[in-house]
Structure 1
Amino acid sequence: MNSQPKHQLPSVALYWDFENLHASLSEARLGEGSYGKPDGRFKLQEPVVDVAAVVEFALALGPLAINRAYCNWQFFGRYRDALLQGAVELVQLFPPGAAAKNGADIRLCLDAMQDIERFEHVGSVVIVGGDSDFMPVAQKVKAAGRRLIGIGDRKSTNRHWAKSCDEFIYYDRLVDPMAMPAEPDHSPAALVPRAIRLLARNTGEPWVARAAVWQMVQRMDATLDLQEQGFDSFSDLLTRLNASVEQGAGAWENHLRLRQP
């Protein structure tokens, strides 16, 4: 396998107020107020959150040191495969009553503040959720010199929370909000264009350093073996992707970008 020089990026901590996002997307499909009803919330839930899309967005920022989701998981068993594929650590929170919140936002904030104090290698914090309750943790994260990125549903995100982040990404910018979550394609030919697209979105430049693309691909699939997949090296893979991936020259040597259709 072709080895690329490694530059260790600061680590990323990803925290999910999972039920918050799921509820918003569920109501977008089934009608406003539908999730809050007893027969809407306390039953086996159909997957509507594209876990892989959010995880890959976070991976474009750097290696994931923490990937933790807070929810009452007893009704979310159908997310099992997506959560396992995303290597998400699950924190179980039972609501104290039928009409009560499960306290995910409070627990998430406490854990995030403790983690940034303990782990100096965490450079970026990503919080998935739209509640204004996250505003105090935003102040603590930024005071600690870490970058804060929020992700939330456009209709349910508190605008004050969104503005308190260094960057806020609406979920519908990551995926088609009306599409069912798809099984991620882990073939190298699919991973490379996705890596370039995600990295280019972060930098705002179409050209992305080749070494950064390779590191991103490895973060997306740590089991990837190019030779097992029929490629002699990363260079060989890029040559075979020539129709969709352009290799730079001159000032853009050792950079890649997606070819325009």
Structure 2
Amino acid sequence: MPTDSEARVAVYIDFDNILISRYDQIHGRGAFHADKVRTLPADGRESKARTRFSQATVDLGAIIDYASSYGSIVLSRAYADWSVPAHAAYRDQLLARAVDLVQMFPTTRSLKNGADIRLSIDVVEDLFRLDNITHVVVVAGDSDYIALAQRTKRLGRYMVGIGVAGSTSKSLAAACDEFADYDALPGIEPVQIDEPEPEVDAPAPTKAEAKRIAAEAEEAAATEAEAAKAPARRRRRATSESVAAAQDEVAMTPAQRGDASTGLLERAMRILHQKTDDEWLHANVVKEQMKRMDPVFNEKSIGHKSFSDFVTARDALVELREEGQARLLRLKGE
């Protein structure tokens, strides 16, 4: 695998493919369409399909982190119909990682959106237009991408595929320079599915209980009507206060930033350990990987004078060894 420090990575995600593959892997072949997940309402109402959907969540952050281990990500796109609620649920996660969302409207009754063709055309066009791209990462397992993998290698780029076990074409894996199983990526935890116990029908309410329930419903309706009469200024003030409260909850304390940095260090080292046979990693390589995964990371912002000081403060997680001017790291217990 090329190890040029100037490596440039382009990431392309067939989102519909990876989402369906993950859902069917967890719940059985054909479950995505059988559960009608594509038309899942966006109002947040609890249902069996919504619970199963949350159990089959795709960790796109882990995918992007893994792709960054090949070099600096200079281009990343995800292809899907983003008007679909099941897809829209991932928009914030993708935008937070600077992934461009390419809108693909379905063109047939089968809801086929042609993402594989559009993605392949974009890859080939980008490789001719941007000659500094060294690695191409395609997140999909469809055999339709075999020709793309072959052409990418023919153009002198390193082709990496990422797919879900059980939904990946063996021929596609063979056509790539390297193919990674989504479940084997660092940070992906095995999913434990707890099947809910069958619900027991509640006994019919007595006349007294029915009368009480009706009275409570009338009282709740009256309260809502009274709230609706409140002045618009008062409602706007309440909304502003709730938004400010939400922002305060999102803001991280110094301790929380330290914990987040510790997690970032561990994920970066697990990715590097997985990609190399070296037991010890150079500290500068680890820091570079951390910066690729989170450009905001800065050890000085969390109270450390240097990266070595940052690592030393996490001696329960990482072991530090010095060899001359070099500082080497490894995860304890590995």
Q: TM exceeds 0.5?
A: yes
Aligned equivalents of 2:129 and 2:110: distance in 1? 35
Change (3 A) 1:51 1:35: same
The Cα shift of 1:258 comes to 1.0
Query: How far off is 1:12 after superposition?
Result: 0.6
Match of 2:273 among 171, 194, 200: 200
Residues 1:179 and 1:210: Cα distance change in structure 2 (over 3 Å): farther
1:209–1:255: 8 Å Cα contact kept in structure 2?
Answer: yes
Deviations along 1:127-169, whole A, 9 cap, x unmatched? Answer: 1001111011111111111111101011111110111111111
Aligned to 1:58: 67
Query: In structure 2, what is the Cα distance between the partners aligned to 1:145 and 1:251?
Result: 38
- Contact 1:130/1:157 (<8 A) preserved: yes
- Superposition pairs for residues 1-261 of structure 1, below 5 Å? 8-37=5-34, 39-44=36-41, 46=53, 48-75=57-84, 76-174=87-185, 175-178=188-191, 187-250=260-323, 253-260=326-333
Pick which of 66-75 and 216-225 moved more.
216-225
Q: In structure 1, what residue type is equivalent to 2:119?
A: L
Question: Does the aligned pair in 2 maintain the 1:25–1:177 contact within 8 Å?
Answer: no
Cα distance in 1 between the residues matched to 2:59 and 2:333: 26
The one-letter amino acid paired with 1:214 is K
Deviations 1:26-85 (A, max 9, x none): 123333212234833333574511011101001111110111110111122211331122
Contact kept in structure 2, 1:70 and 1:93, CA below 8 Å: yes
Taking CA–CA contacts closer than 8 Å with sequence separation of 6 or more, which of the two structures ends up with the larger relative contact order? 1
- TM superposition shift of 1:179: 6.3
Equivalences, count:
251
- Aligned pair in 2 of structure 1 residues 177, 107: CA closer, same or farther (>3 Å)? farther
Separation in structure 2 between the aligned mates of residue 251 and residue 60 of structure 1, nearest angstrom: 26
Give the TM-score, by structure 1 length: 0.88
Identity of aligned residues (%): 36
Asked if the contact 1:12–1:58 (Cα under 8 Å) also holds between the matched residues in 2, the reply is yes
Structure whose CA Rg is larger: 2
Alpha-carbon distance, 1:215 to partner: 1.1
**More helix per residue:** 2
* Residue pair 1:150, 1:169 contacting (<8 A) in 2 also: yes
Q: Retained in 1: the 8 A contact 2:25–2:165?
A: no
TM-score, normalised to structure 2, is: 0.70
Amino acid at match of 2:286: V
Give, in angstroms, the shift of residue 98 of structure 1: 2.9
Q: Cα RMSD (Å) of the superposition? A: 2.3
The alpha carbon displacement at 1:213 in A equals: 1.0
Out of 75-84 and 152-161, give the one that drifted further. 75-84
What stretches of structure 2 of length at least 5 have no aligned partner?
Answer: 42-49, 194-255
Task: Report the CA distance between 1:192 and its aligned residue.
Answer: 1.4
Find the residue that maps to 2:67 and give its secondary structure: helix
Q: Which residue of 1 aligns with 2:211?
A: none
Amino acid at match of 2:264: L
Q: Do the aligned residues in 2 keep the contact of 1:147 with 1:166 (CA within 8 Å)?
A: yes
Gaps spanning 5+ residues in structure 1: where? 1-6
3-state SS, counterpart of residue 36 of structure 1: helix
Mean alpha-carbon deviation: is it higher for 167-176 or for 200-209? 200-209
Whether the 8 Å contact between 1:171 and 1:177 is mirrored in structure 2 is no
